[in-house]
Chain A
Amino acid sequence: NAGVTQTPKFRVLKTGQSMTLLCAQDMNHEYMYWYRQDPGMGLRLIHYSVGEGTTAKGEVPDGYNVSRLKKQNFLLGLESAAPSQTSVYFCASRDSGTGRSGELFFGEGSRLTVL
């Protein structure tokens, strides 16, 4: 049981390049999230999904797109990377069942540097 797996773990991009971060979870969770973490800023929600085929904007969605074609996968795309998108990106998932605590399960993070 791997939990939440993010790939790649590290990536360096040049301004204007595109890339996709992949998040996979094997816990059959309905809800999946992408956060970014910057020094002194805590975690900020980029996009999230409440089920296969659904996506919604979070707090800081500009410059990012997401897709949830399969329940276990949540992709985060950067179409034209900017230096302001240098950050550590975390994927998380949780169960949607009633009575659940809302506990999030996190991946280990993907560190992205945009030059």
Chain B
Amino acid sequence: SQQGEEDPQALSIQEGENATMNCSYKTSINNLQWYRQNSGRGLVHLILIRSNEREKHSGRLRVTLDTSKKSSSLLITASRAADTASYFCATGPEADTGRRALTFGSGTRLQVQP
């Protein structure tokens, strides 16, 4: 079963606009990660936010985490055509619960129109 679910499933914006993707999860977590997947390629790690953090920045990426609502959001500012990809949230692994693997959501497909 999916631990994380992204929303929306697909998003189309113009270059220069901001893109926001949301992720909801079901169980308690120690951290949450976001990954990016270009078409036909493997996933690449973007950013990790720990359960005691509320917000984290990395370049044009901003991630928020609300553990009370079991949700996270990924904001890409000033989007570029090269940001076109699928974005996945993932939870785990967590040594204290024995979860040794990341569990992924179904992803948001982002299309940035030039």
Contact = CB atoms under 8 A, between A and B. Distances in A.
Interface of A: 4, 31, 33, 35, 40-43, 45, 48, 50, 56, 58-59, 90, 92, 94, 101-109
A42 B33 contact: no
Contacts of B92: 102
A18 B40 CA distance: 24
A110 B40 CA distance: 10
Contacts of A101: 31, 33, 48
A109 B43 CA distance: 9
Interface in B20-53: 31, 33, 35, 40-45, 48
A106 B100 contact: no
Nearest to B95: A98
B101 A33 contact: yes
A101 to B, nearest CB: 5
| Best-surrounded residue of B2, B45, B90, B101 (most CB of chain A within 10 A) | B101
Given A90-B42, A90-B43, A108-B42, A42 B100 contact: no
A43 to B, nearest CB: 4
A58 B90 CA distance: 15
Nearest to A33: B101
Contacts of B43: 43, 90, 92, 104, 106
A95 B12 CA distance: 35
A106 B44 contact: yes
B88 A104 contact: no
Nearest to B2: A42
B48 A108 contact: no
Contacts of A103: 33, 45, 48
B2 A31 contact: no
Nearest to A107: B42
A30 B86 CA distance: 28
